[in-house]
Structure 1
Amino acid sequence: MKRRRKKRTTSLLVLAIVLIGGWLGLKPSQSQNLWQTAQALLPTAQSSTTNSTSQPNASTAQLADLDYRSGQSAVVAVNNNKATLDPASWKTNHVVYADLDQLNRTSTANTAYLEQRNVANDSLRVRQTVQPTGWHQKFSGRQAILNRGHLVAYSISKGISVDGNYDPNQQSGDQNNLKNLFTQTAFSNQRLQTVYETKIRTALRNGKKVIYQPHAIFRGSELMPRGVQLQAISTDGSLNFNVYIFNVQPGFTFNYSDGTSQTSSLQVPDTTI
């Protein structure tokens, strides 16, 4: 109501100025100057710009709609890089593995409640055989362009069984668990996501308790995710991040509907936030 009154008052003021100018018999040039002054008093629409490196309070659908442009950062801050998780919800050491959707995709976030004992020994890794949706491996030289990307990384899931409970007899981290794997580019996994997993691993080694929620982001019924959202917070608040990582690979373009790819001139900087 206050805005309407202000707008009505301003409009009446402009009209009064114009009428006064006519009554005073001003010259055309003077009338034009008066009119420009009056227009300056009118309220103007505020323009908004979207920063490609920041998506405040973005929903899953909004993240899925983002398109990557060659040369831009492949990491986007979500909610000003602050997690939306509640530190007080950490009660016991376990992982909530979401069920696969009707297309057998890991399209719902997994949530891990982690502590120091979950830091795994890499020497216990085994060869992965699972083929997540959209899996069409290709090599550049001798380097694979795709990885079986873990939502909750092997390195921070020691002792977590496939049902998500802690089992002290299980010494390795999560490996061939369909509910925890998605088709991820080698660059997204090994150069970008690993940076944030290292932050979590460091916090755990320092005795922190951490809530971690990775979420593969699919667009519509596509079988290969467009990216992955990672957010984590420690119970003392010293660790806190919320990012979206595009699922892209330098030199390749993907058909996300089925995961096939072709060579291209796509450039992806090796930078994080």
Structure 2
Amino acid sequence: MEEGIDGARDEAGDDGDVASDKKCGGTSAVETPEDGFWGTEIPVYQGKAWIELNNNVPLFTKKDYSTKSFETYGELDSLGRCTTAYANVGQDLMPTKERESISQVKPTGWQKLEYDGIDGKFLYNRCHLIGYQLTAENANEKNLITGTRYLNVTGMLPFENMVADYVKETKGHVLYRVTPVFYQDELVARGVKMEGWSVEDNGESVCFNVFVYNVQPGISICYGDGTSSRIVQEATADPSTRKIYGNRRSKIYHCPGQAAYEEMKDSPNLVIFDSEAQAQTAGYRKAAR
């Protein structure tokens, strides 16, 4: 297993779910509020794993710049949710041994759910806010949220790798802050804000400020309690296989997509043909529009 990835099967397939009476309220990753937002300045997911914030410039100030490594993890809030994880990542914080099990931690909204088509099958990982490869944190409940495989691997991992590569190659430091974003009292984060800034070269090598979406394509997520369902796409009928509607009184037939086609469904004069050729053989002619 690669460093920085919370393995789906060994970390998700454990002794069960976290019970919750939190209701969903119909909110899902695929529903779009009228204004395109869900209570913050961040728009709903529109097919990209992350979006840039503040022109991709992090909100650190000069007083934050330091060449001394540190890591801090905010206290859980009143609902038991993670807050902010903040570090100045240096080589001295990085792991020197294999990661231990984190299966004993049950982040808010945790559910053990499997779907075919997801790498490892499990929808959720225990997602490190600051990846293990950066600060060697194992089962720290202040650093683990319920996150989709898509958030973990497609969204967050590229930024974690960018930071890790810079630190290893230069022996420098990267200010790194990850903040989960929850909507109201939901137990599963809508995503995470990620900020990074390479200190020694003043952001020349690492500079980002992004929001990464906690979604899984093809799955509808209830962020209230973490339950989910597969999105069923309705099949669109091929016009070439749809029936031809004829009017026995006027001897005119209508094809799918023509103006009066849908209206003919309820006509007392409706005659149904399998093809235009069949209608024409019966003496019908095609409608002009």
TM class, shorter-chain normalised?
A: 0.5 to 0.7
Aligned to 1:259, what secondary structure does the other structure show?
coil
Q: Distance in 2 between matches of 1:87 and 1:186?
A: 35
Q: Distance in 2 between matches of 1:232 and 1:87?
A: 14
Residue equivalent to 2:140: 177
| Pairing 1:223–2:187 present | yes
Q: Deviations over 1:114-145 (max 9, x none)?
A: 11222325633334321100111211135111
Q: Distance in 1 between matches of 2:217 and 2:189?
A: 17
Aligned to 1:128, what secondary structure does the other structure show?
coil
Q: Deviations over 1:35-81 (max 9, x none)?
A: xxxxxxxxxxxxxxxxxxxxxxx9x9323xx3224xx2121000111
Counting aligned pairs with the same residue, the percent is 29
Q: Distance in 2 between matches of 1:221 and 1:127?
A: 25
Instruction: Count how many residue pairs are aligned between Structure 1 and Structure 2.
Output: 188
Q: CA RMSD in A?
A: 2.0
State the 1:175 CA deviation.
1.2
Aligned to 1:144, what secondary structure does the other structure show?
coil
- Is the CA contact (8 Å cut-off) linking 2:54 and 2:209 kept in structure 1? yes
Q: Deviations over 1:171-227 (max 9, x none)?
A: xx1011111111100111012200000010011112121110001000000000001
Residue equivalent to 2:227: 260
| Pairing 1:130–2:94 present | no
Q: Distance in 2 between matches of 1:122 and 1:73?
A: 34
Unaligned 5+ runs, structure 2? 1-36, 234-289
Q: Distance in 2 between matches of 1:122 and 1:145?
A: 27
Pick closer, same or farther for the CA change 1:185–1:84 going to 2, 3 Å.
Answer: same
State the 1:89 CA deviation.
1.7
| Pairing 1:240–2:240 present | no
1:231 is matched by which residue type in structure 2?
E
- Is the CA contact (8 Å cut-off) linking 2:65 and 2:175 kept in structure 1? yes
* Segments of 4+ moved more than 3 angstroms: none
Pick closer, same or farther for the CA change 1:67–1:122 going to 2, 3 Å.
Answer: farther
Q: Distance in 2 between matches of 1:121 and 1:190?
A: 22
Pick closer, same or farther for the CA change 1:181–1:124 going to 2, 3 Å.
Answer: closer
1:74 is matched by which residue type in structure 2?
A
1:148 is matched by which residue type in structure 2?
R
| Pairing 1:103–2:66 present | no
Q: Distance in 1 between matches of 2:142 and 2:89?
A: 18
Residue equivalent to 2:133: 155
Q: Distance in 2 between matches of 1:87 and 1:121?
A: 31
- Is the CA contact (8 Å cut-off) linking 2:150 and 2:215 kept in structure 1? yes
Unaligned 5+ runs, structure 1? 1-57, 158-172, 267-273
2:84 is matched by which residue type in structure 1?
A
Residue equivalent to 1:210: 174
- Is the CA contact (8 Å cut-off) linking 1:98 and 1:110 kept in structure 2? yes
Aligned counterpart in structure 2 of residue 114 of structure 1, from 84, 89, 99 = 89
Q: Distance in 2 between matches of 1:146 and 1:98?
A: 22
TM value normalised by structure 2:
0.61
2:81 is matched by which residue type in structure 1?
R
- Is the CA contact (8 Å cut-off) linking 2:49 and 2:154 kept in structure 1? no
TM value normalised by structure 1:
0.64
1:178 is matched by which residue type in structure 2?
E
- Is the CA contact (8 Å cut-off) linking 1:250 and 1:265 kept in structure 2? no
